[in-house]
Amino acid sequence: MPRDRISRRRFLRDSAVTGVGLAATASFVFADERPMPMRAFGSTGLKVSLAGLGCYPIGSGGVKEKDAIAVVRRAHELGINYFDTAESYGKGRSEERVGKALKGIRDKVIIATKTLARDKKGALAQLEGSLKRLGTDRVDVWQIHALAKTGDTDRILARGGALEAAIEAQKAGKVRFVGITGHADPDVFVDAMKRHAFDTLLIPLNCIDPHHRSFETHALPVARKRKIGVVAMKVFCSGRLPAKKIVDAESCLRYTYGLAIDTCIVGCDTIKQVEVAAHIARNLKQMAEKERAALRKKTEPHSPDLEWYKRKD
């Protein structure tokens, strides 16, 4: 059978799931491939690809630099324009690799990175390091990372907090848009969105989420009402749903891709994984509510045990 005529069913059947995402047995080009869906990114004026690339895995010491660069480049070839990394991923290794991979095509992509600092001085220092590693003079989305409790929001909004750093960096042209990220408690983000007009929100959204401290039912509607750009993460619940054969990888992706999100970052460390994530986005078959409900029912017995990242109390 010619490579470009292989069926979608066989492609997905031959795909296997790894702990961080997806793997396929070969590279395929589909004769009927559709363009990557593009969505408005909140009120930023940007357009983002439905599938984004989560770059935590390519910062791993177990991934060779040339392979990491190839993953990013392949993602771009497939229509992915949103690349999410962080200063803390592999102690800066992920940012360095993203920067090298996107050299020459910087203006065609959206780069998002993060700071764990809660104070202005620390955040600005981390931003300068990120810019240097990424090889760019600005980041499109700079995110204050891993808010876990209301106290974190208090610190970043206080005088001398990280938000002051973000505003200063915006005025200097080093940051275009400011966001927040986290996965412990949706109420923290509802509170944060009410207290400041953030541009973007990065939160876990998957078919196990609705059962416990749900970001889908609590934080997502607030973000949509306020026209905040929404980025989904942990589509596989850190790889646990498909690894434990609770829900297959394609269903996980289709569930999250079908939510009221702008982009979904999928963590990939091989070209094969990127190809599957992009293929499902480009040929997305929307789930009926009956199918979505069936997936939630499957995951309910495993909540919240599999969601290691959420508060349990």
Q: Which residues are catalytic?
A: 89
For residue 169, give Cα distances in angstroms to 61, 123, 147, 225, 294: 31, 10, 20, 27, 46
Rounded CA-CA distance 96/250 in Å is 30
Amino acid at 83: F
Q: List b or e across 130-140, with b for residues whose CB sees 16 or more CB atoms inside 10 angstroms.
A: bbebbebebbb
CB 287 within 8 A of CB 255: yes
d(CA 224, CA 230): 8
What b/e string do you get for 44-69 counting C-beta neighbours within 10 Å, with b at 16 or more? bebebbbbbbbbbbbbeeebeeeebb
